[in-house]
Amino acid sequence: MTTTRRTPSTDRRSGNPAKRAAAKKPDPIKDLKLSPEVHAYMVDRGIPLPDCPPHTKTPEPRDVPGAAFDFERVDKVLAAFKALTHVSGRWAGQPLTPDPWQVAYILAPTFGWVRWDDEADAYVRIIRDLYVDVPRKNGKSTISSGIALYMACADGEQGAQVVTAATGKEQAKFVFSPIKTLAEKAPALKGRVKAYAEKVIHLRSASTIIPVSSVADAQHGANIHCSVVDELHVHKNPDLVETIETGRGSRTQPLSVIITTADSGKPGTIYDRKRRYVDSLAAGTIRDEHVYGVVWAANKDDDPFAVETQKKANPGYGISPSAAYLAAEAKKAKNDPSALAAYQRLHLGIRTKQAARFVNLDTWRANAGDDNAWLDTDALRNRRAYGGLDLASTSDLTALCWLLPRDDDGFDALWRMWVPEAALDDLNTRTAGEAMVWLGRGWLRTTPGNVTDYAYVRASMNEDADLLDVQTVAFDRWNASQLTIDLTDDGFEMVKLGQGFASMSAPLKEVKRLLLTGQASGVPMIRHGGNDVMTWMTDNLAVAYDAAGNVKPDKASAADKIDGWSALVNAMSEAMAGNAPKTSAYDDGGLRVV
């Protein structure tokens, strides 16, 4: 970590000087994904700017009311690191000086951002959860060890409990061992710490660092100031991580650190949940100022054996990992196709089995529309509308979508969504507080109790029918209920729609085609008005394919709720059919079946 990588300012350029002069001047803040505050700190302290921006980076909490970036706090952390020394290899005995990329993307954002806390009567860190996803050999152990020692010995917290967590005792010792060795070897800590087989004690503050490998270990006297979780992807269940994160409530500025390599893309795991949360924060579909994450990875379509791809995924390229090491690993993978997936995951950060996103968020947002005057009641009056209803489980989200055809072959889309009051807190937690925002803006509605009260859905649909010229409403034929019978009695033409590949593929593909057309033309073809609930659900969307290439929404594989998408596809099925007569295998008392 003591050797500085060559930065753009020190690289020698080749090519035509005239072309170089005419080239666009780089913007270090935008191109390198640096906040203005971190950029200013790096320049002021004479730290070279890194040349390895992460693939994914969540927003720094610069817009939090009262937020400030404290240069001296970052100085203190870097000074603590430099008081430690490398204990092995070619840098043994040299100060543990973090690389510029580690300062710019990990240490400075995490420790620099503070706000005033009235209860603590002091400035406290804003970021409480740090997530770092980076390929192997990029100094994960070194930086996590440095953070653990700082939090125990230099953060000013009396009786700080710092834990290092892993899935088994041997792995926990493996994570703890570098910390213990650093504590023993650092001249600055001599006489200040005691290092034992399974504990490091900072004498002055009575703070401790211990390894844990079970829920019982984590619960014992839990009053955690800092936790370091190693290789999240090997945790089979969330119990240990969640126990650690809930054991820090009495601390004023706790910090949970996850430093990991990528998994293969398996859905539903604790890794998948944490990674999806970070991805959603980076995409702006949810907001949580207490969580900060960075991910280094190549793209799936990058040449996996190219040096530039290796540099993109490995911020420590040329130091650790060395160029020779990565070249050797690439050669093995090239010669042995069975080793390619492991090489891509471990050394390029690619989640090899993760399904491609069906609808890109940029494509979705491009169809929001700039002028929402069409949402006014007068503008909606008597417009032709096709409905799609998704009656999820009674204790979960219910969604209704109205598609309103336009003369340009596009549609305007309106959603109504309901959640039982008893389920709101859980939804609010899963969306980092966004559900309450959606409720305040009218994008989400509640019904009393712990199950969806379909009387509210029925009343809302009848209100809409008084405003719109409703044609038909499609719903899952396997989820018929008293509500659909009541709506038929109210005069709605309700259409039972299968939710399999045969029924869903064509309308889902049509939705995607229209969204892509809208993005390319600049004219929204499914204008949705920037509905944030649907943006969140678009980020969650997963689809399934059959052997013939047909596609349907896949709730089982989705990151979270996609009920609004199911309603949209149901509505599109009706809109595509228009007023054409439909055939039915049997008459169902006013319900049409397709």
Beta-bridge partner residues of 161: 208, 224
Q: How far apart are CA 422 and CA 434, in angstroms?
A: 16
Q: How far apart are CA 398 and CA 461, in angstroms?
A: 13
Flag whether pLDDT at 1 surpasses 90. no
Flag whether pLDDT at 584 surpasses 50. no
For β-strands 291-295 and 56-57, DSSP reports them as antiparallel
Taking the model in full, what pTM does it have?
0.82
Contact assessment for residue 533 and residue 417, using Cβ atoms and an 8 Å cutoff: yes
Listed range (353-357, 379-383, 554-558) with the worst mean pLDDT: 353-357
Give the pLDDT mean for 70-80: 97
Query: Which position has the higher pLDDT, 518 or 234?
Result: 518
Q: How far apart are CA 354 and CA 101, in angstroms?
A: 27
Give the pLDDT mean for 15-27: 50
pLDDT per position as a tens digit, 449-492 = 988 899 999 999 999 999 999 999 999 887 768 899 999 999 99
Tokens of 417: 């969504």
Could you write out the DSSP letters of every residue in 400-429? Answer: EEEEEE-TTS-EEEEEEEEEEHHHHHHHHH
Contact assessment for residue 115 and residue 126, using Cβ atoms and an 8 Å cutoff: yes
Flag whether pLDDT at 590 surpasses 60. no
* Fold agreement (27-296, 361-593): no
DSSP alpha helix (H) spans, 434-500: 434-440, 454-467, 482-489
Q: How far apart are the first and last CA of the chain?
A: 64
According to CATH, the topology of domain 27-296 is: Rossmann fold (3.40.50)
pLDDT value for 218: 74
pLDDT value for 589: 44
Q: How far apart are CA 394 and CA 451, in angstroms?
A: 5
pLDDT per position as a tens digit, 339-359 = 999 999 999 999 988 777 899
- The domain spans of the chain are 27-296, 361-593
Tell me the CATH number for domain 361-593. 3.30.420.240
Listed range (59-63, 216-220, 364-368, 578-582) with the worst mean pLDDT: 578-582
pLDDT per position as a tens digit, 408-458 = 999 999 999 999 999 999 999 888 899 999 999 999 999 999 888 999 999
